[in-house]
Structure formats: structure tokens, C-alpha cells
Structure 1
Amino acid sequence: MQVVYSDDELLHNPLNEMTGGEWKPYVESPKRLVSIKNFIDRHPEFEVVDPNDYSLGPILDIHRQDYVCFLQSIYEEWVAEGKPAEACLGETFSLPAMTGKIDPEIVRKTANKSASGKMGYYTCDLSVCFVKNTWRATYASAQVAISAAHRLTEAIVSKDKSQSIYALCRPPGHHSSHQMAAGYCFVNNAAVVARFLQNYTFEDMNKAKKPYGFDLEAIRKQKFSTGTATEKKKILIVDIDYHHGNGTQDIFYDDSSVFYVSLHGSPDYPYFTGSAEETGRGEGIGYNINIPLDPKTTTDAIYLDNLERVLNQQSVVDFKADIIIVSMGLDTWHEDPIAGMKGLVDMKTYRKMGSFMKTSASCIGRPVLFVQEGGYTVEKLGDLAGNVLQGYLET
């Protein structure tokens, strides 16, 4: 299995975060990727490859342009206003109860008058911290995911038997929506690659592909091509991160071409989304399944039973996905410092998770793109990721 990875993803390295009323060392650390990369490097069934650069085009197919401009420039603006260079962090957030009766465009213009206003408008919690190279790492993470999608498409077109690939992404993405950063997430990598696979033909991907290289000014000024696909592929996103992927759900909530399935701990972050009652809206009704699980009582057997059942559920099977995207969070492990299902104690469970992505009725015979999301037990993270991937490969 090919693994797409870039050292630039390690450059986002805030010192602290506010969690549970305490200032703590930043949990979404570069050490996470180092742990997984070390495992990958020790196992010959994996081949690490560098990303290419596909410009901002695929990112802007998901995220609003003003939001992407915010990601590119907020740290510079924050420092220019004389604020602390070690951390750009929100303090006041734009909630509907505060601004609900005001024209949204007026709210946006008012918020954009200061760095603190922008932080409150485009972020929603204290886990979202910008440092000098946050945008560089975020851009690299997105290009890693897009590169993986292109390589997977190449395998499909060439009828290569190994139609699976792993995007070793960091920062993660599934909490980020069209115009909001949340839960350590800035660009929603899974959503970006879902649209990329739908909007871009293989020829479009080849045309957009450039050597990877980060130049802030060049990225701001770059021109990019857009996809010309006339028929959208059907994408099934299976989110096995401990936390509900509120951003991914929101992006595709009224879209019948993307089926979103999430198993997650509840009640827990993000606190306001992830109920079983959330099934989609408009054309998207029936294409969103949430399976909230009690983190105190969920065991290995209970988790696997729920995962296997939903992947074999008739509505998911009948969707007839063309491609499976796995939002591969690993924070379900019982020792995770900020999450964890207390009964998930067997590493073999993760092997079975991976195997289900090949054997389940909704997944069998489909290409699979694994996109790294959360997981914070650094010393175990490589083994956890490796078990999911090896479980898939060995099935």
C-alpha cells in the first residue's frame, strides 16, 4: 500500500490548548505523525511517497474563499496587531444568539476588521490555535490527501489490483466545515478529496498536478484549473474517529451523492451534533447515519458489531458507492488522553475495522482511501494505524 506523506505536516506545533478548563500541552502534536511514520517505515508492505501540488482549486471546491484567505493570513495579521507570536487563539466566538438577527454579510464585514474578530468568526473553540507555520502544514495535509486521491484514481484507471491508499494527514480535518475551523481541524481533507474525486476526471487531475512546494505568495496568486467531470461518482465516507465529524456532516448534509456514516462517542465533543436523529436534509435525507456510542460501556464487541451492521445496512449497500473514504481516527483506543471508548482494549479490533472496509457488502470490490484524522495515544498510534491498514491488506 502506498502512503502519501510530507514533512511539512510536522510544522504546525502549538505549545498549549485549553481543554476541560485547564491549560495543557497541545495534544494534536507532530509526534502523532512521527509515531505512525515510524511504524510505516518498519514494514515493507508500505511504500512512502511524496505529495504533488494541485493548488487551492480543490480546497475552494469545499471551503469558502474568505475562509481560505483567513487561513492564509491570520497569523501574520495577529502578529502585526502586536499580539503574542507564540499563539493566535480566539477569545470571543460568533454565536447565533449574539448575531442571529443581523444580516450575515454585516456580521462578516464587522468581524473582519480585526484579527480577534476573524478568530471569533472563523473558529469555534480553543483547540484551534495558529502558529507561524500552521497554514503551511495545513496546505501540505490537504495536498497529501489530494495526491492520494489522484494515485487511487490512477490505480482504478489502470485496473491495478491494489486499489487502496493511505493519506497520512496532519492537521486532521473532519471537524472543519465550509467556513469554520474546529477541533484541531482547518481544512476538511476527507471532504476535499470526495469532491476532487467527483469533480475531476483523471485527465483533469493530471493537468492540475504540479511538483509540491510551499511558497506563500505564489499560493495566494496561483491560477488553477477546475474539474470538468459531468457525472459525479458516489462516495461513501466512513468516519471511525472517536468524535463526530460535524464538519463533514455539515458539508454533505443535503447531498445525495455522498453518504456519510459516523460511529462516535456520545455525549462528547463537539457536543451539539452527532445524534441518530440527524439523517440529512433535502436531497440528502437518508444519506447521513450517526451511531452515537456510550464511551463508558462500549466494548470491542459492541463497537465491531455496530460497524459491521451499518456497513451491511441495506440503505448503505443500495447506495452502491464507487469509492470508499475512511476518516481514520484512532482515538477510540481506551488509553487515549482526550477521548477513548473504555472497552476498546484489544488491538485486534482495529485489524477487524480495516478488514470490514474490504469485506462488508457496501465496501466489497470498491477502492478505498484512508485519510488520517485523530488519535492521541502517541506511543500506540503507529500500532493502531498499522493494524487498521494491515487488517485491510490481509483480508
Structure 2
Amino acid sequence: MDVIYNEDCLLHDPPFEATRGQVKPYLECPARLESIKKFIDSQPQQFNVVRPQDYSLTPILRVHEKDYVEFLQNIYKEWVDSGMPPEIAIGSAFQHPKVIGKVSQEVIKKNTLSNPLGKIGVYSFDTANAHTKDTWRSIYTSAQIALTGAHRLLKLAEEYKKRNKENNINQSVYSLCRPPGHHSTSCVAGGYCFINNAAVATRFMQEFTLEEMNAMSESFDIFDAFKSTIARAPQPADEKKKKKIMIVDIDFHHGNGTQDIFYDDPSVLYVSLHGSPGYPFFTGSIEETGQGAGEGYNINVPMDPKTTTDEIYLDNLSKTLNSSVTEKFSADIIVCSMGLDTWHEDPVAGMKGLKNVGTYYKMGQLLKTSKSSIGRPVLFIQEGGYTIEKLGLLAGRVLQGYLS
């Protein structure tokens, strides 16, 4: 299995966070990726580490609003230029509909133009997203790793089609990236997430042909912090030919951002298994099934973290991936938002009964053998997980389960 990785993802390293009434070291730290990379490097017979390519901002702007991306690019410099402490840029006041509900977004954004604290409050929904001098570089790299994974996966799928079925090849890629993405909407950051990597990769595979991907792919050797769109936009995708993609989110937390981005889109089936009650608190119920044309294409499976065991979790995952709804969707591609914070020892989350490492192996197997996923290419994209000493093993077991 190809593993897409780049050291620039380690540069985002805020000195602290303030959550649950405590100021403490930033949990979404570089050590998370280092733990997983160490395991990957220990298994060269199974994993091949590949550096990402650069696809510009074009695919990112197919999901995220331009002013939001410009905010991510510029906020740290604006923070420092305004005389704020250079160690970290972090918000303290956030939009709430009961405060600004009668004021237009245009006026609100105009009000905040000269104040970085105000900007953070417009483009973030909590204090988890801190910005440092290298944060944008890591954000951009993380997205390019997801895009490279998508590109390589389509190449594998094309190669598979040209071969005889007896000569099978592995149709899976792992994008080992951070910061994670599934909490970020098209225009708001939160939960350690800035760019929604899974959503960007999904749209990329739907709206760009393999030939377009090949043409826009460039070397990642030189980073430009203020890079603008450098590749032409694709032709509008034919809805009848658009690839159908099922996103399976196994992070402990509900992927509110991914849900929001695809909530009215029938070409993407979003499936989330997550702990409830819990962060992000306002979304993740079974009643959230999509809207408009997307009605019925959003599946939430909330589970009580106090009582969910290995057996209960696997039973829910199996029933969901083998259900008539997911099977009937008939996805062309599976994207797995691979969070590892379901482990019982996770310092911020954890299903208290998930204690068997073998459960993660079986998760990977289910993504390969279930009725809704069998025979489909799978792109694994790294999300959360904060038990540093266990992350490599947990990630490895999911991937090895798929490869078995």
C-alpha cells in the first residue's frame, strides 16, 4: 500500500490549547504522525512511502470559500502585525446566531477586517484551532497529501480495469496527513481542523479526470505560502457520470464539517460512527439524514462511549456497511476518514469498552469485504487519535486488516 507523507505536516506545533477548563500542551501534535510513520517504516514489505505532489489551490477551492482560504493563509501575519503575541494566534470570541442573526455576513466580515481576533471569530467555531507561523504550510501540505492519495488511487483503479480479474491488485492508498479535516466546513474551522481533506479529495475524484490530475500535478519541492490558483478549473461535472463516493468516518467525533459540505448532495453518502453525547455537541443524531436532493444520503450511528464495547462497535460497523441503504448506493469509491481516538485510553475521547487492538484489524477487514465496499478502491485519510504511544499500532492494524 502506498502511504503519502511529508514532513511539513509536522511544522504546525502550537505551544498550548485551552480546553475543558485547562491550559495544556496542544494534543493535535506532531508526535501523532511520528508515531504512525514509525510503524509504517517498520513494515516495508506492506507499505511504500511516497512524497506528495502539488495540485495548487484549485481543488481546495472546489470545497472551501475563497475568503476563508485567504484567512487561513494570512491570519498569523495579520495577528503579529497587529501587535499580538507571536507564539500563537487563537480566538476568544465566536459568532453566535443569537448575537448576529439579523446582521448580514457581508457586514459582519466588514466589521472584522481590521481585527484579527474578530476574523478568527468569524472563521472558527472554537478555541482548538491555533495558528502559528508554519500552520498554513502544514494545512496546505495536508491537503496536497490527501489529493495525491486520491490521484494515485484513481491510477490504481484504472490499472485494475485493464487487468484480468485473476491478476488482482491492491486498490488502496493511505494519506498520512495532519492537521486533520473532518470538523471544518466550507468556511469555518474547528476541532483542530482547517481544510476538510476528505471532502477535498472526494470532490477532486468526482470533478477531475485522471488526465486533468496528471496535467496539474507538479513537484512539491518549493512551497509558496501565498500561492494562488495555478491550474485551470475543470469543466462542470456531468451529474450522470459523477463518481459516487461513500465516506466512512470512524473517528470518535462526529464529522460535522463533512456532513455539512455534502448534506444536500446525493452523489456522496456520508456515514459516521461516533461517540454521543460528545464533541462537537450540536450534530451527529440519527435524525440528520440529509436535505433536498441529499435526503437519505447521510447516516449517523451515535454510540454511548460509556457502554460501547469492541463487539458493539464492530456490530454497528458491520450492520451499517452491509445495510440495504449503503449497498444500494453502489459507491464507486470509498473514502475512510480514519480517526483512531475510539481507543479506550484516548485522552480526549475513547469508547471505554474498545480495548482490543484486534478490533481495528477487523475494521479494516470490514472496509474490504462488506457488501457496500467489496471490490471498491479505498482511500484512507488520517483524522484524529491522541494516544500517541498506540497510534502507530492502531493505524497499522486498520490498514493490515484491509490488506489481509
The bucket for the TM-score relative to the shorter chain is: over 0.9
The answer on whether the counterparts of 2:137 and 2:225 sit within 8 Å (CA) in structure 1 is no
Seq. identity, %:
58
Post-superposition shift, 1:360? 0.4
Once residues 298 and 171 of structure 2 are traced to their aligned partners in structure 1, the CA distance between those partners, rounded to angstroms, is 25
Which residue is 1:58 aligned to?
59
Unaligned runs of 5+ in 1: none
Q: Deviations over 1:346-387 (max 9, x none)?
A: 000000000000110000000000000000000000000000
Aligned pairs for 1:1-395 within 5 A: 1-44=1-44, 45-159=46-160, 161-216=169-224, 219-220=227-228, 222-228=229-235, 229-230=237-238, 231-394=241-404
The answer on whether the counterparts of 2:153 and 2:171 sit within 8 Å (CA) in structure 1 is yes
Q: Deviations over 1:257-298 (max 9, x none)?
A: 000000000111000000110000000000000011000000
Post-superposition shift, 1:214? 4.4
Once residues 233 and 374 of structure 2 are traced to their aligned partners in structure 1, the CA distance between those partners, rounded to angstroms, is 31
Once residues 225 and 331 of structure 1 are traced to their aligned partners in structure 2, the CA distance between those partners, rounded to angstroms, is 38
The answer on whether the counterparts of 1:136 and 1:214 sit within 8 Å (CA) in structure 2 is no
Once residues 379 and 322 of structure 1 are traced to their aligned partners in structure 2, the CA distance between those partners, rounded to angstroms, is 35
The answer on whether the counterparts of 1:5 and 1:51 sit within 8 Å (CA) in structure 2 is yes
The 3-state SS of whatever aligns with 2:273 is strand
The 3-state SS of whatever aligns with 1:53 is coil
Unaligned runs of 5+ in 2: 161-167
- Of 98-107 and 292-301, the range deviating more from structure 2: 98-107
The 3-state SS of whatever aligns with 2:343 is coil
Q: Please give the TM-score of this superposition, normalised by the length of structure 2.
A: 0.96
Distance 1:217-1:6 versus aligned 2 partners, 3 A rule = closer
Q: Which runs of 4+ in 1 moved over 2 A?
A: 213-218, 227-231
The answer on whether the counterparts of 2:153 and 2:172 sit within 8 Å (CA) in structure 1 is yes
The 3-state SS of whatever aligns with 2:390 is helix
Size of the aligned set, in residue pairs, is 393
Q: Deviations over 1:61-101 (max 9, x none)?
A: 00000000000000000000000111100011011111101
CA RMSD in angstroms comes to 0.9
Post-superposition shift, 1:191? 0.1
Letter of the 1:164 partner, please give it: S
The answer on whether the counterparts of 1:9 and 1:141 sit within 8 Å (CA) in structure 2 is yes
Letter of the 2:118 partner, please give it: G
Letter of the 1:19 partner, please give it: T
The 3-state SS of whatever aligns with 1:3 is strand
- Of 106-115 and 185-194, the range deviating more from structure 2: 106-115
The 3-state SS of whatever aligns with 2:144 is helix
The 3-state SS of whatever aligns with 1:76 is helix
